[in-house]
């Protein structure tokens, strides 16, 4: 190469030709997953219930937007089939959409718990069933990646409506690996810690840090490394899991190291 000649753009390309669906991709971790997977060469379909934010993310990242409520099984099936038709199939599902509800378990309205289960458990089941139907038809396996939470193994006080469906989603991940492994379908998950997103806003971080007599940085970096973990760290971890062909039924904890959340 002569001096002055430009180097070609560096693209890892590990997911070149792969079609990926990311649910809840208009914000936070899902948006970062869409960005990181696109950069790795994948064709990414982003699904979200928030249409304006979805359109903005799609324009920003060159992904295809599909407005979809993951708690509506019929709509999920329709949208997944549309993605497969529009983009030439499906290889990877990142089942990410979720939100955090609070309330003391002995007092909270039953409806709140049911609503959280609809999103934080059944939303994953709806997406996974729609994906498995497509994977099976294609006959070339597939990969399902769950955004769980370290709450699934280390429940927080008054976070039952969030942590309990997350624990069930961890069990769901194992069940998919168990029941569909022989079809070449892998199922894995990530247990993230505190991540600055639409779910954990700057204001919430300040309030929680104050309640513990900490600075926001100390609160967010409250792990063995003493560093804040970001949405892009989680997205990178999903990318690695997507590319590790022999990893199945695994949970990767990405929280800087917290003994109470580490698996045993
Ligand atoms: N932020 C954290 O600290 C943290 C930690 C561990 C796990 N998680 C998990 O990460 C995932 C993403 O959360 P985030 O922190 O990026 O939050 P976020 O609020 O920034 O993003 C969640 C996205 O999901 C979408 N969504 C909500 N309900 C939906 C529905 N019914 N159908 C389709 N889309 C829907 C929202 O519109 C939003 O765009 C969640 O499953 C959450 O439980 C977050």
11 inside domain: no
- How many Å lie between the centroid of ligand 1 and the Cα of residue 177? 23
12: which 2 tokens? 């890892």
Name the band, by pLDDT with cuts 50, 70 and 90, for residue 264.
confident
141 inside domain: yes
Q: Each residue of 162-174: pLDDT tens digit?
A: 999 999 999 999 9
224 inside domain: no
Which atom in ligand 1 lies closest to the alpha carbon of residue 150?
Answer: 6
Which of 26, 29, 31, 191 has most ligand 1 atoms within 8 Å of CB, for mutation? Answer: 29
Listed in order, strand segments (DSSP E) in 154-204 are: 185-192
154 inside domain: yes
What is the spatial distance between Cα 156 and Cα 89, in angstroms, rounded to a whole number? 39
- How many Å lie between the centroid of ligand 1 and the Cα of residue 80? 19
- What's 151's domain CATH number? 3.40.50.720
What is the spatial distance between Cα 155 and Cα 93, in angstroms, rounded to a whole number? 26
DSSP H/E element including 243: helix 231-243
What is the spatial distance between Cα 211 and Cα 215, in angstroms, rounded to a whole number? 10
Strand partners, 65: 46
Strand partners, 129: none
Strand partners, 145: 94, 188
> Looking at residue 190, what is its pLDDT?
98
Number of structural domains (the chain) is 1
> Looking at residue 151, what is its pLDDT?
97
> Looking at residue 14, what is its pLDDT?
86
Ligand 1: which residues within 6 Å by Cβ? 23-24, 26-30, 48-50, 53, 68-71, 96-99, 119, 123, 147, 149, 192, 194-195, 197-200
> Looking at residue 65, what is its pLDDT?
98
Q: State whether residue 179 is helix, strand or coil.
A: helix
What is the spatial distance between Cα 101 and Cα 162, in angstroms, rounded to a whole number? 5
217 inside domain: no
- How many Å lie between the centroid of ligand 1 and the Cα of residue 18? 23
Instruction: Look up the domain containing 55 and give its range.
Output: 19-193+229-256
Which of 197, 203, 219 has most ligand 1 atoms within 8 Å of CB, for mutation? Answer: 197
5 inside domain: no
213 inside domain: no
What is the pLDDT averaged over residues 120-138? Answer: 99
- How many Å lie between the centroid of ligand 1 and the Cα of residue 150? 14
What is the pLDDT averaged over residues 178-192? Answer: 98
Longest dimension (CA), the chain: 72
Name the band, by pLDDT with cuts 50, 70 and 90, for residue 74.
very high
**CB burial class (10 A; 0-12, 13-18, 19+) of residue 264?**
exposed
Catalytic residues: 162
Which atom in ligand 1 lies closest to the alpha carbon of residue 100?
Answer: 43
What is the spatial distance between Cα 113 and Cα 102, in angstroms, rounded to a whole number? 9
């Amino acid at each position: 190469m002569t001096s002055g000649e430009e180097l070609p753009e560096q693209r890892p390309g590990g997911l070149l030709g792969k079609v990926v669906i990311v649910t809840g991709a208009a914000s936070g971790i899902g948006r970062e997953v869409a960005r990181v997977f696109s950069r790795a060469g994948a064709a990414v379909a982003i699904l979200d219930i928030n249409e304006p934010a979805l359109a903005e993310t799609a324009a920003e990242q060159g992904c295809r937007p599909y407005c979809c409520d993951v708690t509506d099984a019929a709509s999920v099936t329709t949208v997944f089939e549309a993605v497969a038709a529009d983009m030439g199939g499906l290889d990877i599902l990142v089942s990410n959409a979720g939100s955090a509800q609070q309330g003391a378990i002995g007092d909270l309205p039953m409806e709140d718990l049911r609503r959280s289960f609809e999103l934080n458990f059944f939303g994953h089941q709806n997406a996974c069933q729609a994906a498995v139907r497509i994977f099976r038809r294609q006959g070339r396996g597939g990969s399902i990646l769950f955004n769980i939470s370290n709450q699934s193994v280390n429940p927080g006080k008054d976070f039952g409506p969030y942590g309990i469906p997350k624990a069930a989603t961890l069990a769901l991940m194992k069940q998919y690996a168990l029941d569909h492994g022989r079809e070449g379908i892998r199922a894995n998950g990530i247990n993230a810690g505190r991540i600055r997103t639409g779910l954990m806003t700057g204001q919430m971080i300040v309030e929680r840090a104050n309640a513990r007599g900490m600075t926001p940085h100390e609160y967010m970096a409250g792990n063995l490394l003493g560093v804040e973990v970001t949405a892009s760290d989680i997205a990178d971890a999903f990318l690695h899991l997507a590319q590790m062909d022999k990893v199945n039924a695994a949970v990767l904890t990405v929280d800087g190291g917290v003994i109470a959340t580490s698996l045993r």
